[in-house]
Amino acid sequence: MIKVKRYDNLGKELDALQLNDKIFGLKINNDLIHQAVVTQLANARQSSAHSKTRSEVAGSGKKPWRQKGTGRARSGSVRNPIWVGGGINFGPRNVRNYSLNIPKKMKRSALFQALTAKVAENKFIIVDEINFKSPKTKLAVKLIESLPSISGTILVVNDKTNVKVELAFKNLPYVKTILARNLNIIDVLKYNWIIASSLAVKEIESVFLKIKDSNLNKDENNEDSKVKRTKKEISVKKSVKTKKNVKN
C-alpha cells in the first residue's frame, strides 16, 4: 500500500493515509494516457464553423452578362465560388462529428495512471477536511500557504458540494474546485498540484472501483442465468423423453 502525508487545515502534519494500489500504484502507459486525453478533448469539441456553398449563398440565378461580345470573361452566376461574395468550395460544415470513443476500462485506467503520476511526483496532498466557517478567499489562501511548498496551479478535490469552499477558492484564478466523482484526466494533468480531502480519496475509490466491481457482478449473474437456463432445458428434455416412453 502507498502512504501519503496528511495535513489538517492549519498545515499540521497528521498520520499518513494509505492509498489503494489499484488506483494510485499502477504502471504508467503514456500511449494510453494520450489516447484518453485526445478522446476527451475531441468529445468536448463542437462543430460550429459553417460556410455556405454556391447553392445556399444569396444571389440571383441570372447570368450576369451575355456569353460573348462584352470583352469580359464568361460567367454564369454571381454565386460562383471565384466571385467575391460567392459560395465556398470545400469549406467547414456544421454537420461534422468530432467525437471519439474509448472503452470505459481504458478511460478509467488512464485516469488512475495520471493520479499515480501525481503521487509519484509528490504533488498529491491530502487534507483531513476541506471546510471553512465562512466563504472568504483569505481562508483559502491561508490553507494553501500552510501546506508545504505549493506553487503553480491547484486542483482542489472534495467529496461533496460545499458552497463555502467553492466561493472561497473562486477568486483565485490558479485554483479549480471539483467533486471526486467528476474527476477527469484533463484536470488531473492540467493542474500542477492536487489537494484532496480524506473523504474525497475514499469517494474516488468507492466511485471508480465500484463500477468495475458491479460489472464483474453482472457478468457473474449472466453466467448463473445461463447455467439455470441450461438446467431448465435439460429438465424439459428429460420430461419430453419420459412422455414418449410412456406413450410407446
Q: What is the DSSP string of 76-143?
A: S-TT-TTSTT---SS---TT--------HHHHHHHHHHHHHHHHHTT-EEEES----SS--HHHHHHH
For the chain, the distance separating the N- and C-terminal CA atoms, rounded to the nearest angstrom, is: 70
Mean pLDDT of the chain: 88
> 184-193 pLDDT, tens per residue?
999 999 999 9
Pick 138 or 220 by higher pLDDT: 138
- Work out the average pLDDT over 66-82: 95
Q: Which three cell numbers stand for residue 13?
A: 502534519
Specify the pLDDT at position 216. Answer: 40
Specify the pLDDT at position 9. Answer: 86
For domain 2-45+103-203, which architecture applies? 3-Layer(aba) Sandwich (3.40)
Specify the pLDDT at position 220. Answer: 44
Query: Which range among 2-16, 61-75, 87-101, 232-246 shows the weakest confidence by mean pLDDT?
Result: 232-246
Q: Quickly state the pLDDT bin for 201 (edges 50, 70, 90).
A: very high
- Work out the average pLDDT over 23-45: 96
Q: Which three cell numbers stand for residue 108?
A: 478509467
206: pLDDT strictly greater than 80: yes
> 93-112 pLDDT, tens per residue?
999 999 999 999 999 999 99
User: ∠ CA 209-184-195 to the nearest 5 degrees?
Assistant: 90
Q: Where are the domains of the chain?
A: 2-45+103-203, 52-97
Q: Cell 471565384, residue?
A: 82
109, 31 Cβ separation under 8 angstroms: no
Instruction: Annotate 184-195 with b (16+ C-beta within 10 A) or e (fewer).
Output: bbebbbebebbb
Question: pTM of this prediction?
Answer: 0.76
The share of the chain scoring above pLDDT 90, in percent, equals 76
Q: Quickly state the pLDDT bin for 212 (edges 50, 70, 90).
A: very low
Burial of 72 (0-12, 13-18, 19+ CB in 10 A): exposed
- Work out the average pLDDT over 146-175: 94
Q: Quickly state the pLDDT bin for 140 (edges 50, 70, 90).
A: very high
172, 204 Cβ separation under 8 angstroms: no
